Amino acid sequence: MAFPDQTDQEPQSESPYAPTMVPGDGNGAGSILGRFGDGFKFTAVIAVMVIAIWFVSKKLKGVTWDDVQRGFDNLPTSHIVGALLLTAINYLILTGYDWIAIRFMKKQLSFPRMMAGAIVGYASGNVLGWLFGGNLARYRMYSKWGFSTMEIIGLVSILSVTFWLGLFLLAGIAFLALPIHLPPSVQEFFKIESKLFGDIELSQHMFGAIFLGCVAAYLGACLFIRKPIRFKGLSIALPPFRLSAMQLVVSALDFLLATATLYVLLPPDIVGPDKINFSTVLIAYLTAQIAAVLTHVPGGYGLLEGILIAFLEGPTDDRKGSILCAVIMFRIIYYLIPFCVAGLLYVINEYSPRLKQADISDGI
């Protein structure tokens, strides 16, 4: 929610939270460096995806299609129906992200359009990635509904903060209070080698305290800092405490429902308190989301599969086929089906009669 300072600039919108930007020369050296930077980032994304797919193929060495087929055979139809229902509820909850952002910006938008924007934005982001699908589709729809470019940037910034808040909250709670069973290969990542202090093992509780500390700091700032924070030309306006608390609730529900969808798609013979429990799946899914967002790999292809297999595999290879079965079903139910619905909504919005500007106005 960091907006450029508006002190000496001409406002581009009546919304008090709409940021402004001073136009620059698009033909200078900065433009050349920008193109070079985009090319480098695209190459890096492809490289990460290739490495992730290589890692998955290495992890699945020895796993046959018959192993995966057994996972499908052991998956009850009721679990598939449950996953579809959880996905529908999850995408309804996702509308809360946009509702919070629009309310904080003191804009108005009808709930059906808000829901359409959320479904299209998140479903396309899940499949195509935020750089290649999610933000572009959201920009197209919201700009047609009368939002300026800088208002859309502000909206996406608020969505990002909400996303990280829920992730940090659940990761902190899971590391501190829930039973997590990680394989030895993953537990090695908690160790840091230091020539000065020797080997340092970071406990799960330490990570949990760090995550929850970040959440507490944000809530405290929203509670006690009411004026915009100005720093080097940026004006950071924090939401009121009530909205920041709603950010936590909506984002946490989002991650819990997505994890529950994945969990019910795991065959019953590999889940349970002594096998794969919900909290371990939650940590695995949150880690995959962090990796996908930070690397910008579209859809987290390779990353989701690799991290889930690494976090959930057992002492033998008999689980890997069932885990791969669950990931395939998860991508179909949670990613592909909503993406088809989002495509239909996008086409309807794109070719419907031009929306009236009066449908969107400042103020609540």
**Could you read off the pLDDT of 170-204 as tens digits, one per residue?**
999 988 887 777 666 666 665 554 444 445 555 67
What average pLDDT does this structure show over 226-231?
Answer: 77
Which of 350, 205, 174 is CA-nearest to residue 279?
Answer: 174
pLDDT tens-place string over residues 308-318 = 888 887 666 66
In the chain, domain spans: 67-353
Q: Provide mean pLDDT across the span 326-331.
A: 93
pLDDT for the residue numbered 133: 66
pLDDT of residue 23: 36
Instruction: Give the pLDDT mean for 140-161.
Output: 88
Contact 170, 278 (CB under 8 A): no
- Of residues 260 and 321, more confidently modeled: 260
Helix (H, G, I), strand (E, B), or coil: what is residue 126? helix
> Mean pLDDT across the stretch 316-340?
88
Of 117, 135, 159, which Cα lies nearest the Cα of 251? Answer: 159
Beta-carbon neighbour count of residue 321 at 10 Å? 23
Q: Which range has highest mean pLDDT (45-49, 179-183, 329-333)?
A: 329-333
pLDDT at 19 over 70: no
The average confidence (pLDDT) of the chain is: 78
Q: How confident is the model at residue 252 (pLDDT cuts 50, 70, 90)?
A: very high
What is the reported pLDDT for 291? 86
- Distances in Å between the alpha carbon of 42 and those of 38, 49, 266? 6, 11, 33
pLDDT above 70 as % of the chain: 76
Instruction: Please tell me the predicted confidence (pLDDT) of residue 54.
Output: 83
Encoded tokens for 46:
């492809």
